Amino acid sequence: MFTSRQLLEKLVAFDTTSRESNLALIDFVWRYLSDLGVSCELIHNAERSKANLYARLGPAGDGGVMLSGHSDVVPVDGQNWSVPPFALTERDGKLYGRGTADMKGYIACMLAAVPHFLAQPLTQPLHLAISYDEEVGCLGVRTLLEALAQRAEKPAICLIGEPTELQPVLGHKGKLGMRCEVKGAACHSAYAPQGVNAIEYAARLIQQLTAMGERMAQHRDSRFDPPFTTVQTGIISGGRALNIVPAECAFDFEVRTLPQDDAQAIAAELEAFAQAELLPRMQAIAADSAIRFYPISGYPGLLTDAQSEAARLIAYLTQSSDFSTVAFGTEGGLFHQAGIPSVICGPGSMAQGHKPDEFISIAQLEACDAMLQRLAAWMSK
């Protein structure tokens, strides 16, 4: 049997930055579970360069609990690490390495708990899921959910182990990333009115987006921080020279919505403004002027009912009903959309995630081990 610390050391050694393959890590997990007699299923991407892993143990039948985590990590490029990022380093009760908090620490605890689950008289099945490409838009888990949708037997609850310091979390905002491309008409800047300045029209769109954000800030939900839906423009590019009216401009913006708000409706409102207010002016000067919108990424928000079975379970496991929300996104909204109520609870803190010298405390790993043992006892009743 491996301890969670020993497994974390092995998991951290795999460079599973989202731009890299995760197959070496998945192969290690597959072999580990196979040696324990647990059969696994791999669900690959189209290029077969990455895979989700799904496993199930315990009795047959519908329901049960799924433990879910993502295998990919964010890059270390440009970060000043004092320890090797892809090797586990212990110092003052903390374990350092990329992914220790987000979220290989949880996966290590999940895997370490498997022998204990196997030894229990489980009355419902335990499902295990490890996904890829969560950090770049919750991409990989979608094919896993498509596969589960084809089956009659599905988990009743999903416990996603994102780092919350093992506090029970029931919600997070959704996100929609969009790109807007503005096509104008170039001319010499001395005759600027004869052209269509793509940068200026992009600026009007951004100004409209800002106004929409100010309006949405009036509708608040104190369970979230910030307590309202937000919009922001993160990237803009355009123009070739100061004496040329720019014919192209593009900008990327994101909408982070309260779970009850519709990000697509917000994007549609901006597109309607472009079509009604800006395009007629542009095309009056140059008929082939255009404004186009393209989705970049997105995932739904999550807000699990505090009276649900999932909420009651996580309250029992954490011995706390002090439910909260987190600012970052997770795969939880996608699981919920697939009909699997989800809660977020895992060891470590996102305050250390995505940073140099990322770490998780040994105490948090041990507390997660204990939480999963309580889950095994609950599933054996």
Please give the positions annotated as active site: 72, 134
Which residues have C-beta within 8 Å of that of residue 260, sequence separation ≥ 6?
221, 303
Which residues share a beta bridge with 182? 249, 291
Residue 56: closest CA among 36, 28, 79: 36
Q: Rounded to an integer, what distance in angstroms lies between the CA atom of residue 347 and that of residue 262?
A: 31
Strand bridging mode 174-183 / 126-131: unpaired
DSSP reduced 3-state for 55:
strand
> Residue written as tokens 């393959």?
21
Q: Is cis: bond before 103, omega within 30 of 0?
A: yes
What do you get for the CA distance between the two ends of the chain, in Å? 25
Count of beta carbons in the 10 Å neighbourhood of residue 229: 27
Rounded to 10 degrees, the C-alpha dihedral 141/146/149/151 comes to -100
